[in-house]
Amino acid sequence: MDLTLRVWRQAGPDAPGRFETYAMPGVSEDMSFLELFDVLNEKLLADNEEPVAFDHDCREGICGSCAMMIDGRAHGPEKGTATCQLHLRKLQNGSVITVEPWRAAGFPIIKDLAVDRSAFDRIVESGGYITAPTGAARDANEILVPKEAADAAMDAAACIGCGACVAACPNSAAQLFTAAKYSHLSLLPQGQPERYTRVVAMVEEMEKFFGSCTNHGECEQACPKEISIDFIALLNRDFVKAQFKNTRLAGQRS
């Protein structure tokens, strides 16, 4: 099949950017979208041109590195699919495809299609862990976990931190990511002792980098793991509760 790529090129964070057009004739429809860029970069190197910088790692839809905006849609036209899982047979032969990096202030461009997503790391570091002392290791089956809670926690833990939710949101909000990372710990028994300090820490850190959620729902549609916006409701509910619970606890300690 024959494709044409319009790719955003930007030498560095402070350099001006531009679109460059590349003809890609005779590519296999069985290629993944990242393999298409591998072929493009081989051609550019053969012509002594600078290859296109883009993030990738596992290429199995697990790591979340393959962040690309394809024709205005995060990860491309196929729902529930990361860029590395998008195959060219899902695209129309002869089409012109525009490829851009995530466009969000919280994700500054490093080079070309590669962006800095370390803001997500800051959110997780602020509270996405469990520090409550639990003593010696116990057998797993000694801790009773309701199946509904386990299933919901697993659904939230499916988040790969790719940033598609932020890229798709008109406000560049990170509520879906934060809610998923918060919920997969806080729904389980082990996460209860720090539940309400965790939600405040993670939300406050999130708000340093990203906009506010106004329930557009674009995040859920763009998520390659189809994580539900119901988790945002849980995050918001617990954040409101935390304002009362944490104040009361502080009063008891004083």
CA distance 57 to 104: 22
Q: With respect to CATH, is domain 3-111 assigned 3.40.50.10470?
A: no
Burial class (CB in 10 A: 0-12, 13-18, 19+), 137: exposed
Give me the mean pLDDT over the 127-144 stretch. Answer: 76
Q: Does the pLDDT of residue 136 top 80, yes or no? A: no
| Domain ranges (residues) in the chain | 3-111, 118-253
C-beta atoms surrounding 224 within 10 Å = 26
Q: Does the pLDDT of residue 56 top 60, yes or no? A: yes
Q: Please, are residues 9 and 20 in contact by the beta-carbon 8 Å criterion?
A: yes
Taking only the tens place, the pLDDT of each residue in 212-244 is: 999 999 999 999 999 999 999 999 999 999 988
Provide the percentage of residues in the chain whose pLDDT is more than 70. 95
Tokens encoding 32: 């993944």
Taking only the tens place, the pLDDT of each residue in 7-38 is: 999 999 999 999 999 999 999 999 999 999 99
Can you identify the CATH homologous superfamily of domain 118-253?
Answer: Alpha-helical ferredoxin (1.10.1060.10)
Q: Please, are residues 117 and 163 in contact by the beta-carbon 8 Å criterion?
A: yes
pTM of this structure: 0.91
Q: Please, are residues 76 and 86 in contact by the beta-carbon 8 Å criterion?
A: yes
Taking only the tens place, the pLDDT of each residue in 157-183 is: 999 999 999 999 999 999 999 999 999
CA of residue 149 relative to chain centroid, distance: 23
**Nearest of 222, 8, 3, 224 to residue 99 by alpha carbon:** 8
**CA torsion sign, 70 to 73 to 78 to 80?**
positive
DSSP string, 11-26: SSTTS-EEEEEEEETT
* Residue 213: predicted pLDDT: 95
